[in-house]
Structure formats: C-alpha cells, structure tokens
Structure 1
Amino acid sequence: MAKIFSAPLFSLLLFARLSALTVAVLVLTWALHFKISFIPHHSSQEDLIYAVLHPVLMVIGFILISGEAILVHRWLPGSRNLKKSVHLCLQGVALSCGIFGIWTKFHGQDGIVANFFSLHSWMGLICVSLFGAQWLIGFLSFWHRGEIRTIRVRVLPWHVFLGLYTYGLAVVTAETGLLEKLTFLQAKGDVLKRGTESMVVNGLGLGLALLSGVVILAAVSPKRAKHQTPQTKIIYSNNKCLTS
C-alpha cells in the first residue's frame, strides 16, 4: 500500500471513507428511525416512501457516490482510461440518483409547485443540471479522445473546477435542506431542539461539511513526484501532442 500511496494521501482517503460511512449511517438512521417526521400522519404509505427516499438518494446516491468518483483518480490502480471509465460510471450512477431523488418530490401530495419554492429546491435543480451537463461533456469527451485532444487539454482545468464546485454546491444544498426541515419540525413542536432527532440531523450536517472538505483536499493534493518521470510526461502544443 505504501508503494501506491504516500502516507498523507492514504490518511486522507481513509478519513474520507470513514466520514462517508458516518454520513451514510446518520442519514439512514434519520430516514428510517425518525421517518414519521418526513410526512404528516394522515398521508399514504406511498407518500411516506417517496419522502424518505429523497434524503437517502440525494445524500448517499448523489453526494457520496459522486465524492467517490472524484477520489477514483487518486486511489484506483491501473491505466488512465480505466480510471476515467470508472469515474464516468460512478458519476452516471450519482446523476441517476440525483434525478430520481428530485423526481420523488414531484409526487408530493401538495403538487409540484409547492415543493419547489425554497432556496434549497432552487439550488438542487441548479446543482443536478450542472452535474448533468458535466457528465454529458465528460461522456462525449471520453468517446472522442483522439479528435479533440487539444480542446480537452484546454477544457480540463474548467472541467475539474466545475466538478469540484458542483460537488461543493451539492453539499451546501443538502445543508440548506437539513436546516429547512429541522427548523420546520422544531417550529411545529414535533422535534425538540435538544432531542435525539435534532442531534442526528445536526451531526449529519457536520459530517457532510467534514466529508466535503476531505474529498476536495484529497482531489487537489499534489501527486508524488517520483511517479512523474520525463519519459511518461505528455506535453501538449496547440497543434499536436508531443512526447518528451
């Protein structure tokens, strides 16, 4: 393991996995143990399932899987094409979960408009739309590597920036959703401010904030210098690709 990762990077990757596991446990605990908070008592079982699915899909399916896709470039052994293929597949799964997670809100008993009035809902739509555009560009770029090599080199920094920005935006969107839901429940008196559910939701918010910082730090951390040899370094010009 030491030959593949440096000690700081290995520690970051391990910490990211532990943070993701903690977040997954907390969101499942909230969604399954405190599921009655997600919908009024008189609602149908189908409405309850859709309401519970929304946080699970958006946190575990969208945020955690997209975070793992970002980390693939740092931990997965093998060729560059293999890493890009796994990255693209994981991002595709995350996008599907994000779309389905938003779709569940369209089945609320109050209708579509009533579920898209808040800052959380607007940010969610923007985030998934940006993520979808990013994935589509990456998909087209992957299957047309030779034809647009120089364009890919120029676009890559923006692709990385928008990927990390969208991931961070997804976490912020989730935080606004947690705050909105918890404030609503506390205002109605359904949840105590110092109760167990409040502690779970606040812990989930802290876990997401910690996870996002670790993932982004691992993504931007420099690679080990000894793996970058002049024989394998690729230098791109405006017109062609040269190997030094």
Structure 2
Amino acid sequence: MDSFHRVGHRTAASSVTVLAQLFGITALILLLIWLLHFREGLNLDSENPYQIFNVHPFLMYFGFIFFGAQAMMAFKTVAAERDIKKFSHMFLHVIAITLGIVGIYSVFKFHDKQNIKNMYSLHSWIGMGTFCLYGLQWLFGFTLFMFPKATEGTRRRAMPWHISYGRALLYMSVCAALTGLMEKVGFLKLQDNNESRLINFTGLAILLFGITVDLSITLARYLY
C-alpha cells in the first residue's frame, strides 16, 4: 500500500513540475509580447528611457523569479546525484542574483533619466526587500551546505528553515512582480483593452507559476 501511494505521489509531483514549467514559459512569452509589441522593446543602452525600463520587468521575471524557481526545483525534483543537484541549485541562484542586479540597475537608470525618485512605492519596498533577503539566503545556504559547511547535525536542523525561507521568498518575489505590473498599469493609464488583458494574463501566469513551483517542491519528497 505504501508503495502504491509513493507511485501516486511521484506521478502527481512530476505532473505539477511539468505544469509549473508550462506556466513559467507562458508568463515569459506573454511578458515578451507586451514589452516588444506594446512597449517599444528593451535595450539597456538605448537613448529611449522606456526601452531601458523594459529591461527591468524582463530580467526581474526571467532572470530573478524564473531562474530562482528553477534552482529550487532542480534540487527537489530532478533525479540526479546529490552533489550535482547542490551545485546546480547554487549555480542557478547565482544566475538569478546576477540578472536581478542588472534588472534593478535598469530601473534606477530609468529613474535617473526621468528624474523620478527611487524606492517610493510598495512594489519597490517589497522588491528590494525580497532581493536583499534572497542574497542573504544564498550566502546562508552556501556557508552552511557548500563551504566551509556546517556539521551534519547543524545542517539537518537548518534545512527546514532554509526550505521555508526559500518558499517565502518565492511568494515575495511573485508579490513584487504583481504589484509592479499593477503599478505600471496605473502609471500608463492604459486605454488599450488588449494591452490591459495581456498584462492581467501575464500576472495570472506568474502567480500560477509560483503556486505550482511551490506545490512541486512540497510533493517532491515523495519522488525518490
């Protein structure tokens, strides 16, 4: 009976992981359609400040949220040796942090060009707080689990906290993305219903991506 339940959970976990990837890719496609078709494209070195700004939502989703979620799923849902999963987990988080830094730089550069104050909105507070905590989480995890590495007992006690903080940061990053989209809608005062619907579907896809990533991680304990 236990074996039967394990097989059932394995199937459910694998299906949710695939679903998470579908939502993640869907959100990326919708975001690119919005930025390229409705918002003039993206270019960090452009003379057009709005093309500079557009780098921000792209990299904060694709670079920070998407790669960060991949790092979480790589460790919990991929069938591989533990050391390989640990390295992949760490390396994908490094990519997320690096691209996130560029994404944050782009919005500060846009604000400078437009003479807009920085860190004035709830979105910016949640986003910057999430990013700073994310960096601390990575440093905490690297020190405990990679180098110099804590004792086995300490690692065992720290692991539930590490996982819980990671899941909380996933939802914080999704919250930052959604508040950012709504802030942009309010700023633009959109008249095009097609663009409004596209942004709404993008936000919904990002939300569902976060939920299914979290579910896949929760169910992953039954995979192996």
Alignment TM class, shorter chain as reference: 0.7 to 0.9
Corresponding residue for residue 128 of structure 1: 131
Corresponding residue for residue 9 of structure 1: 13
Q: Answer 1 or 2: higher relative contact order, Cα 8 Å, separation at least 6.
A: 2
Q: How well do the aligned residues superpose, as a CA RMSD in angstroms?
A: 2.1
For 1:8 and 1:154, locate their aligned partners in 2 and report how far apart those are by CA, in whole Å: 28
For 2:155 and 2:120, locate their aligned partners in 1 and report how far apart those are by CA, in whole Å: 38
**Contact 2:49–2:114 (CA<8 Å) still a contact in 1?**
no
For 2:205 and 2:58, locate their aligned partners in 1 and report how far apart those are by CA, in whole Å: 15
Say yes or no: does 1:27 pair with 2:46: no
Say yes or no: does 1:61 pair with 2:63: yes
Q: 2:218 aligned to 210, 217, 220, which one?
A: 220
1:99-140, CA deviations, whole angstroms, 9 ceiling, x for partnerless residues?
1111112212134x6132000011111000000001111122
Aligned residues: 211
For 1:78 and 1:100, locate their aligned partners in 2 and report how far apart those are by CA, in whole Å: 31
Runs of at least 5 residues in structure 2 that lack an aligned partner in the other structure: 1-6
Corresponding residue for residue 98 of structure 2: 96
Q: Percent identity?
A: 32
Runs of at least 5 residues in structure 1 that lack an aligned partner in the other structure: 39-43, 228-244
For 2:142 and 2:48, locate their aligned partners in 1 and report how far apart those are by CA, in whole Å: 35
Q: After TM superposition, give the deviation of residue 75 of structure 1 in Å.
A: 3.1
Q: After TM superposition, give the deviation of residue 36 of structure 1 in Å.
A: 4.2
Corresponding residue for residue 206 of structure 1: 204
Q: Which runs of 4+ in 1 moved over 3 A?
A: none
Q: After TM superposition, give the deviation of residue 46 of structure 1 in Å.
A: 4.8
Q: After TM superposition, give the deviation of residue 219 of structure 1 in Å.
A: 0.7
Aligned AA for 2:147? Answer: W
Say yes or no: does 1:115 pair with 2:118: yes
Corresponding residue for residue 176 of structure 1: 179
**Contact 1:61–1:94 (CA<8 Å) still a contact in 2?**
yes
For 2:114, what is the secondary structure of its paired residue?
A: coil
**Contact 2:77–2:217 (CA<8 Å) still a contact in 1?**
no
For 1:117, what is the secondary structure of its paired residue?
A: coil
The two structures have a TM-score, normalised by structure 2, of 0.87
For 1:33 and 1:122, locate their aligned partners in 2 and report how far apart those are by CA, in whole Å: 29
Q: After TM superposition, give the deviation of residue 6 of structure 1 in Å.
A: 2.2
**Contact 1:32–1:52 (CA<8 Å) still a contact in 2?**
no
Q: After TM superposition, give the deviation of residue 85 of structure 1 in Å.
A: 0.6
For 1:221 and 1:54, locate their aligned partners in 2 and report how far apart those are by CA, in whole Å: 32
The two structures have a TM-score, normalised by structure 1, of 0.80
For 1:87 and 1:212, locate their aligned partners in 2 and report how far apart those are by CA, in whole Å: 17
